[in-house]
Copies of this chain bind each other. A is one copy, B any other.
Amino acid sequence: MVTTSNKSERVPSDKVNSRVERSRHTVLTTAFELLSEGGVTSFTVDEVARRSGVAKTTIYRHWPTREALVIDACSRMIAEQETPDTGSLEGDVTAILMEIAHLLPTANWSFVLPSIVDTAERNPEFAEIHSRIQRGHAAPLREVLQRAVGRGELSAHADVSTIVAALLGPLFYRRWFSREPIDDQFVKEIIKRVLASL
């Protein structure tokens, strides 16, 4: 009895290949793809069903509502950027910003983000997601700045939050507002100017 009971409490690795998990995965992949193309607005459950091949009824067996699915798909968008450790603040910052600069014109999330920003403006749930995504982007930068403080390379009074805005702001500005290209020269200019003023 106990043995039987234990067998039905499967470990996660078992569940991955179960039928439910296959469906979940297929739907989420398609949902994310759809979000990247049209943003939150034009996202429909019917289209997910059409593209994924998973029946709409099955989708509603997994997610209670359209919004739940959108939120779930958006959550998979949080960038897992790794923090470099070159030994110097300038080296670390350059590594981070260069990677972001290269991702901005191509990565899927850069096409969805405006949509999330807009939705977050009036929807608390999306505001929460947006907040998590944002923290994900800023985290590596905050970490290398803190490390620089630890090494004495940066004053302990330095306002990390301001510096992050001074570094990321110009890049984001070019991607979504002025829509100018973000070349390496530009990134280096920004870094040089911001770090010079510390």
Residue of A161, A171, A173 with most partner-chain B CB within 10 A = A173
Q: Is the interface of A mostly helix, strand, loop or mixed?
A: helix
Partner of A193, one of B41, B173, B194: B194
Interface string of A169-198 (1 = CB under 8 A from B): 111111011111000001001101110110
A117: Cβ under 8 A from any B Cβ: yes
Residue of A134, A170, A171 with most partner-chain B CB within 10 A = A170
- The docked-state distance in angstroms from the alpha carbon of A176 to that of B130 is 10
Which residues 112-139 of A sit at the B interface, judged by CB distance below 8 A?
114-115, 117-118, 121-122, 127, 130-131, 134, 138
Q: Assembly of this chain: how many copies?
A: 2
- What is the CB-to-nearest-CB distance from A97 to chain B, in angstroms, rounded to a whole number? 12
- With a cutoff of 8 Å between Cβ atoms, the chain B residues found around residue A197 in the complex are 192-194, 196-197
A165: Cβ under 8 A from any B Cβ: yes
- With a cutoff of 8 Å between Cβ atoms, the chain B residues found around residue A161 in the complex are 178, 180
Interface size class of A (residues with CB under 8 A): 35 or more
B177, A172: Cβ atoms closer than 8 Å: yes
- The docked-state distance in angstroms from the alpha carbon of A122 to that of B42 is 11
- With a cutoff of 8 Å between Cβ atoms, the chain B residues found around residue A165 in the complex are 170, 173-174, 178, 180, 186, 190
Interface residues of A (CB under 8 A from B): 38-39, 41, 111, 114-115, 117-118, 121-122, 127, 130-131, 134, 138, 159, 161-162, 164-166, 168-174, 176-180, 186, 189-190, 192-194, 196-197
Besides A115-B121, A138-B178, 13 more A-B contacts (Cβ < 8 Å) are: A117-B117, A117-B177, A130-B179, A162-B186, A162-B189, A165-B174, A165-B186, A168-B177, A169-B171, A172-B173, A172-B177, A192-B197, A196-B196
